Amino acid sequence: MNTFAPSPARTAKIPLTQMAPRLIFPALNRKENKKVIRVKVFDGLHAFLWRVHTQNNCNAYLIDGEMKILVDPGHRHLFGHILKNLDLLGISLDQISVAVVTHGHPDHLEAITQLHASTMVSMSHEEYKNIKKFDGLYADMPEPAFFLEEGDLQIGDHRLQVMMTPGHSPGSLCLYWPDKKALFTGDVVFFQGIGRTDLPGGNGKELKKSIQRISRLDTEYLFTGHGEILIGKEAIKANFQKIEAYWFNSL
Ligand SMILES: [Zn+2]
């Protein structure tokens, strides 16, 4: 059985009051029926937001520039949607320099097998060690080109910071982009929710510490692994406050 089952999010209907994010998803014409909505959030960042709630898949992000970074390629059998959107942007797979995998669950990781051979896949060593315990499930996963550690990460012109944020999985990481005040959270936090802690290697106390840590960052853009993204410091702060009030007692 696949122990990394779908539904990574623990979400709740939290009263919203004034915490509505400035952007959820653009309204869709019913006929469009798109599974992925591609949003250019700002120059250099495209969000590929997964819209089908019956099929678990993650949001993916493209950090554009001379070197292109794909964050969380998602499920293998759903990667065609990303490909189509990359194609619309005029970007081919061999132009993706690096794929950053926030953590090793299949809905974030699996599609690394679909990337071009020249794309360097990276994740934390802790996470790689963890997924290798599930040999059958991950037998065909290529070894990462390099491992990510806590601290600065320079990829071409992009100056990023890796933050180790265990709890949802042992080697989960968040990626912070100081110049843009953008935070890629994987499944650590969502709009109104947090990552599950009942999957192998999950740990509620660790997750709580990780959330507290990233909540202190100066963040204008919260790029979550599933569901809505949040834009605006106040909306993001309110989201962390609601998460703390609603979830922390049970972690
Ligand atoms: Zn996950």
pLDDT tens sequence across 140-174: 788 999 999 999 999 999 999 999 999 999 999 99
Ligand 1 centroid vs 81 CA: distance in angstroms? 20
Ligand 1 centroid vs 103 CA: distance in angstroms? 7
Ligand 1 centroid vs 31 CA: distance in angstroms? 31
Ligand 1 centroid vs 54 CA: distance in angstroms? 16
Instruction: Write down the pLDDT at residue 8.
Output: 46
Ligand 1 centroid vs 168 CA: distance in angstroms? 7
Q: Mean pLDDT score of the chain, rounded to an integer?
A: 88
Instruction: Write down the pLDDT at residue 19.
Output: 42
Which contiguous run of DSSP H or E holds residue 81? helix 79-88
The pairs formed by 86-95 with CB atoms below 8 angstroms and a separation of 24 or more are 86/62, 88/38, 89/38, 89/46, 89/62, 91/62, 91/64, 92/116, 93/119, 94/118, 94/119, 95/68
- Percent of the chain past pLDDT 70, that is, above it, reads 87
Ligand 1 centroid vs 105 CA: distance in angstroms? 5
Ligand 1 centroid vs 91 CA: distance in angstroms? 27
Q: Give the global pTM.
A: 0.89
pLDDT at 3 over 70: no
- Of the candidate ranges 11-15, 114-118, 162-166, 210-214, the one whose mean pLDDT is the lowest: 11-15
Average pLDDT of the residues in 169-194: 97
Ligand 1 centroid vs 72 CA: distance in angstroms? 11
Which contiguous run of DSSP H or E holds residue 147? strand 146-148
Instruction: Write down the pLDDT at residue 53.
Output: 79
Instruction: Calculate ∠ Cα 222-107-245, nearest 5°.
Output: 40
CA 90 to chain centre: 23
pLDDT in tens, 71-129: 999 999 999 999 999 999 999 999 999 999 999 999 999 999 999 999 999 999 999 99
Ligand 1 centroid vs 73 CA: distance in angstroms? 13
Instruction: Write down the pLDDT at residue 1.
Output: 28
Ligand 1 centroid vs 40 CA: distance in angstroms? 24
Distance CA 166, CA 138 (A): 20
* Helices of type H across 110-193: 125-131, 135-138
Confidence of residue 54 (pLDDT cuts 50, 70, 90): confident
Distance CA 166, CA 214 (A): 12
Ligand 1 centroid vs 204 CA: distance in angstroms? 14
pLDDT at 29 over 60: no
Domains and CATH numbers, the chain: 32-250 (3.60.15.10)
Instruction: Write down the pLDDT at residue 33.
Output: 59
